[in-house]
Structure formats: C-alpha cells, structure tokens
Amino acid sequence: MKELNSHKIKFSPFLEKLYNSEKPLIIYKVKDGYNLYTDFSKKIILTKKNINNFFNIFKNKKFKRDTDLLIGFFGYEILCNLLEIKIKNQKKLNFYRGIFYKPETLIKIRKDIKIISSLKKYNFNNYFNKTQILSPFKMNMNYTKYKKIFDYFSKKIRKGETYQIKICTKYKNKSKINAVNFFWKLMKTNSSPESFMIRDKNFSIVSCSPETLIDRNGSKIITKPIAGTLKKTKKIKKNYAEKFFKNNEKENKEHNMIVDMERSDLSKICKPGTVKILKKKYVEEYKHLYHYITSIQGKLKRKTNIKDIIKSMMPGGSVIGCPKVRTLELLNKQEKEDRNIFTGSFGYIKYNEDMKFNIIIRSILNYKNISEISAASGVILDSTAKKEFNENFIKAKSLLDLYK
C-alpha cells in the first residue's frame, strides 16, 4: 500500500493480504512504529450489567507474552455510568458503549515485520471496501445554536458551578470508508502519539488522538494533559507558539485548571506526596496545530485496582472541564446527541494489570454508513464563542481532509 510504503516500512505480502481481507484488526501507534492486533479469540461488548465482571477478568491472570492483554475502548456513556452520572434523553446512533478484544496475533511493524502468534495457519477472505462518500458533511449545530449553549455555560461559570466546560460539535456525512487506507493517509499527514484504528465487521474507528491519559507500569502511573491549542501557519513556528502560550493569560488559566484537576484525580489513587509534575508546560507540534502539555506522575496506592484507576481518571478532564462531575452533569443536560466514542478512551490492559489509555479525540467513527467527527473546545471566563467555535473546525480539519 502506498500509505504504508510512505513510512519506509518494508513491504509485506502478509500485511497486504490482511489489509485487503475482511478480518477485524487494530493498529496502534507505539513509540518506534506500530502494533497490529488481529485473530481475536474474544470480543467483549461492554454494558452497564457486565462492566464489573470485565474488571475482574484480570485477577490472577499471568502475563507471559505480548498478546496476553485486552485491547479496545470505553465509550463516553459507559464512563458516565461508572460515575453514576445520568445522561438525558439524546439522539442516539446506538453504537457500542465499549468493546475489548483478546488478540492471538500481534504484528510488530517497525523497519522489519515481526509476527507473534498462537496460530499456525492464517486464513484470509479477499475483500476490498472502497471508500464511498454518499453525502457532504453537515454540522450538528450552527454558530447560533453553539453560542446559545456557550452563553448558558458562561453563566454557570460566573455562578461558580464550573470553571471550564467543553462543548462538543459534530461533523457528519453518509459514507463507507476503507479504514486502513484512511489510517495510513492520516499517519502521513497528521501522525500523533496515541493514533489508532479499529476495523470490525460493522464499524470502524480511525484516530490521530494526541493525548495520553493513563500510562501505568507497575506502581508508576503517568498522565499528560493537553490544554491549549494554536493553529499552525507558515508564519507561526514552534518558538512563536512557545511564547504565545507562555504569555497568553487565557491559555495559561485553562491549562492550570486542567493540570490541577488531573493532579487531583491522580491523588485519589496514589500515595500521598508522590504526585509530581515531570515536565511543565511544553509545546508539541502537529500538522495543523500546536498543543500545550504538562506531564504528571504518581505512585499508586498498594491496593488500587483497575476499576479505581478508570473511575478516577476517566473521562479525561482536558476534554470535559472541571470540576469533573458537576461539569459532566451540565454537559449531559445540554448536549442533544450522544458522544459515542468521543472523549472516551482507547487502549489496552495487560494481564499483569499494566495499562495504557488515550483520550479519544481527533477521531472518525463510521457506523451504519454514517461517519461522524467530533471536536470540543473549552469555555472559561475569558473565552469568546466565535474563537472556540472556529477552534473546533481546526481540530477536525485533518480528518475532514481525508474525504477529499
């Protein structure tokens, strides 16, 4: 595939057959390449009834090889369910609340291709899904509707009910997509540290998510909140972005609030005195924009379990607002459509309970021949409705461009 070859990865007939088959698969960007998971022996569809059983799966499991894990996503609604936060009746796509997969085959895509599998034979059914765009994109709300919600939340901020809140807008069209092609195109134009793709029989997700929410290794846990976005142009270079964020009072207020909330979330599950900032207020560069980031680390309390970590850290504060619970309640009363995967989390949990999860933003969900791309920008006292409304388009642009 041209998109794969553009990354200077050795061509693989095996991968070509896999991509052009109908096999479900997941591609996940890692530090030095990509991990591709397939041949799923289990598929766990999460519901309100089975979520606790899901967390118990990992008890007494042994991690012996790289496929001893479950990989998948928590949707926004299941995370609200865990926090016992109600969601008002909304327009629904009726997409899954979450799915996790047990892979039997891992393909490590680096300069060379390495296949780790419990299988001896691989079967491929030839199948090629050509991308078909059946209607133009439409937003789920215009500026007038956005400003009405913006003004309502601004009043709530002035009353002290919340300090920051993120309004979600959606771009939707009718389409069928080739998720593998979309993913490799996106990696060429806008690769991000937490990018991933899921292709299943009746849906696909393509994402260039940049934010690490949970990175757990033993008792150590790290989170990297992003709060601050600047559009990239030919004139705006990284050193300008660094000065912009440093000297911008509004961006710093927003960033400080989110960092404080993430530190608070970590403090609930970490030993006292261990939550510390690793790297403060640095800028990362992407295709269309710059982000303002802080890295925070803590050491987990001795008896902290998987459910404790998920409930404390999810949904990620940088894409919700703060304080988290009251802000979620306000959002759920105002938003007319479900968020589905948006502001949920994708990642894996190993059998030794190490885990890594992102925040699902900058993502396409294709389901029932509908593609939806969601974006959110923050409302604080110094925000203006027009700027935040336009910022949502900047965040969605690299994904919308895939359909051209």
Tell me the pairing of strands 196-199 and 203-207: antiparallel
Most confident segment among 64-73, 277-286, 386-395 = 64-73
Nearest of 34, 1, 43 to residue 20 by alpha carbon: 1
Query: Which of the four pLDDT bands, split at 50, 70 and 90, describes residue 198?
Result: very high
CA distance linking residue 29 with residue 113, whole number of Å: 14
Query: For all residues of the chain together, what is the average pLDDT?
Result: 91
CA distance linking residue 26 with residue 6, whole number of Å: 20
Q: Kindly tell me if the per-residue pLDDT of 8 is higher than 70.
A: no
CA distance linking residue 54 with residue 182, whole number of Å: 31
CB 309 within 8 A of CB 82: no
Percent of the chain residues topping a pLDDT of 90: 70
CA distance linking residue 111 with residue 220, whole number of Å: 30
CA 42 to chain centre: 22
- Placement of tokens 């009726």 in the chain: 94
What tens digit of pLDDT does each residue of 231-273 get?
A: 888 889 899 999 999 998 888 888 998 899 999 999 999 999 9
Is the N-terminal amide bond of 315 cis, ω within 30° of 0?
A: yes
Q: Kindly tell me if the per-residue pLDDT of 4 is higher than 70.
A: no
What tens digit of pLDDT does each residue of 221-234 get?
A: 999 998 888 888 88
Q: Which domains does the chain have, with CATH numbers?
A: 2-223+316-403 (3.60.120.10)
CA distance linking residue 174 with residue 178, whole number of Å: 14
244: its two tokens: 């912009």
What's this model's pTM, rounded to 2 decimal places? 0.92
Side-chain-side CA neighbours of residue 254 (13 Å): 29
State residue 26's pLDDT score: 98
Q: From residue 139, how far is each of 142, 145, 197, 260, 389 by CA, in Å?
A: 7, 11, 23, 33, 11
What tens digit of pLDDT does each residue of 383-393 get?
A: 899 999 998 99
